[in-house]
Chains A and B, each alone.
Chain A
Amino acid sequence: MAWLWQWHNAGLSWLPFLGMVIGAIVVLLIGLGVVTYEIYFERKVLGWMQGRIGPNRVGPLGLFQSFADILKLLIKEDVVPEKADRSLFLLAPVIAFIPSFMVLAVIPFSRTHVFTANLSIGALYYLALSAITIHGVMLGGWASNNKYALIGGMRSAAQMLSYEIPLGLSLVGVVLMAGSLNLNDIVSAQRTWWFVIPQILGFLVFLVAATAELNRTPFDLPEAESELVAGYHVEYTGFRFAFFMLTEYLYLFAMAGLAATLFLGGWLGPWLPGWLWFAIKVAAFIFFQFWLRATMPRLRVDQLMSFSWKVLLPVALLNLVITAVVKAWV
């Protein structure tokens, strides 16, 4: 069967095309499965850290809780506010969702990366596509015709744009070290040591910027519940709301995958199969995000901006300069 997935060095004919379609569907299903259990995992971890037991009613240990939630969202009435900008309102979740799924295409899940593309500009591709989601979020906030949603959408746009820059710069260090933008090559370049060690500064910047990009605590201002009720998706219900949720958690997965790939050696690791190593690293990153959420209060919007421009950006640049100098002289 493996020949079906070797599309990246064959010309486009119907067989590889079929492979692509099947691959996309498989990745989508993996993504959905991961999201389902991400949410379950999040609720369990938060529950445990807070003296609770988390979901436990639907299925054994509450394992089917997320399915029940998704089912509930899907069969709920789809409300479009009368005063909303209807077409944009309907379009926004889709715009937000599609890139979040597309970025999964370049993440090498395992040694053979059977379902994913071996793109030579993988890192750049990720950054470029993830930026599109901002439009969906902003349009959603705008089209809802709700003040809270608007503020949420605006905050979201400002935040994601500001943090995209340190995020990109922190990647550049890794790219310099690996000498390639191809995520597979970057993984291969980490055979001696994981880039988290030489690139510790870059990793810290990446960690903060990634948290902000994901709109997660302490950077969850766009959906600050206590201030903006729910932020940009306050007017969304049913499966449109589910799309926003899906986007968020898919990005969490993708970002965890990116972090694992760039800094933690991707699927590299002794004894265990590659995909398992990858899964462990992704899970560790995701757990860290949940742990943060259990501990941290939220930043204020002006502090958020100044933190990005005044702290993260200089540190990322410094890291870049150091990496370049070391790379040139050593």
Chain B
Amino acid sequence: MFGFLKGMSVTLSQLPKKKVTLQYPDVRPEWPERFRGVHRFIPELCINCNQCARICPTDCISLGGERDANKKMRIDTFDINFDICILCDLCTEVCPTEAILMSDTFEMAAETRDSFYLDMNWLYENQLRYEQNHPERVQAATAGDDA
């Protein structure tokens, strides 16, 4: 008959409990290392193999480059269209040199669609930002490469 009283006690018991709200713009979420935010890109590592563009399910990556004086492939343009990118991470999975990686940048709101076309410079800046924010992760990654 008075089953609802049990429910009332449950709601009342929640009253003094610790709140879970995250004061978002002031307090920022802590993303785990594997978090798939917007890409970061290291131009020196790229060998123009085009694998990322081929695996991309939405065809949002376009890249181009040429051989430099030492006959080494050098990347000239590397654009990602974040209008259609679904952040599926397949491009970083196939990248043989880890030139393209995911960062923990996640805020992408913009006023025009054009602002979602991000080029190599932006992506490299994102890499620098990532290095700045997570020096320990970048160090661990390079240490792992050496080992």
Contacts and interface: CB of A to CB of B under 8 A. Distances in A.
Interface residues of A, number: 14
Nearest to A50: B14
B20 A291 contact: no
Contacts of B17: 51
A296 B11 CA distance: 10
A24 to B, nearest CB: 37
B144 interface: no
Contacts, number: 34
Given A295-B4, A295-B7, A296-B4, A51 B12 contact: no
A280 interface: no
A52 B11 contact: no
B138 to A, nearest CB: 36
B15 A52 contact: no
Contacts of B16: 48
A291 B11 contact: yes
B143 interface: no
A294 B16 CA distance: 14
Given A295-B4, A296-B4, A51 B20 contact: yes
Contact of A52 (B4, B10, B12, B19): B19
A49 interface: yes
B132 interface: no
A50 B20 CA distance: 9
Nearest to A218: B4
B7 A53 contact: no
A295 B11 contact: yes
Contacts of B19: 47-48, 51-53
A291 B14 contact: no
Given A295-B4, A295-B7, A49 B21 contact: no
Contact of A51 (B7, B10, B14, B23): B14
B20 to A, nearest CB: 5
B140 interface: no
Interface in A41-58: 45, 47-53, 56
Nearest to A45: B15
Interface in A178-234: none
Interface in A277-330: 291-292, 294-296
Contacts of A51: 14, 17, 19-21
B27 interface: no
B11 A49 contact: yes
B121 to A, nearest CB: 36
A294 B7 CA distance: 10
Contacts of A45: 15
Contact of A49 (B15, B20, B23): B15
A52 B21 CA distance: 5
B74 to A, nearest CB: 50
Contacts of B21: 51-53
Contacts of B12: 49, 291
A51 B17 CA distance: 7
A294 B15 CA distance: 11
B110 interface: no
Contacts of B108: none
B15 A295 contact: no
Interface string A103-122: 00000000000000000000
Contacts of A50: 14
A293 to B, nearest CB: 9
> Nearest 5 A-B pairs (CB), nearest first?
A295-B11, A294-B11, A53-B19, A53-B21, A49-B11
16 contacts: A47-B19, A48-B16, A50-B14, A51-B14, A51-B19, A51-B20, A51-B21, A52-B19, A52-B20, A53-B19, A291-B8, A292-B8, A295-B4, A295-B7, A295-B8, A296-B4
Given A48-B16, A292-B8, 20 more contacts: A45-B15, A48-B14, A48-B15, A48-B19, A49-B11, A49-B12, A49-B14, A49-B15, A50-B14, A51-B14, A51-B17, A51-B20, A52-B21, A53-B19, A291-B12, A295-B4, A295-B7, A295-B8, A295-B10, A296-B4
Interface of B: 4, 7-8, 10-12, 14-17, 19-21, 23
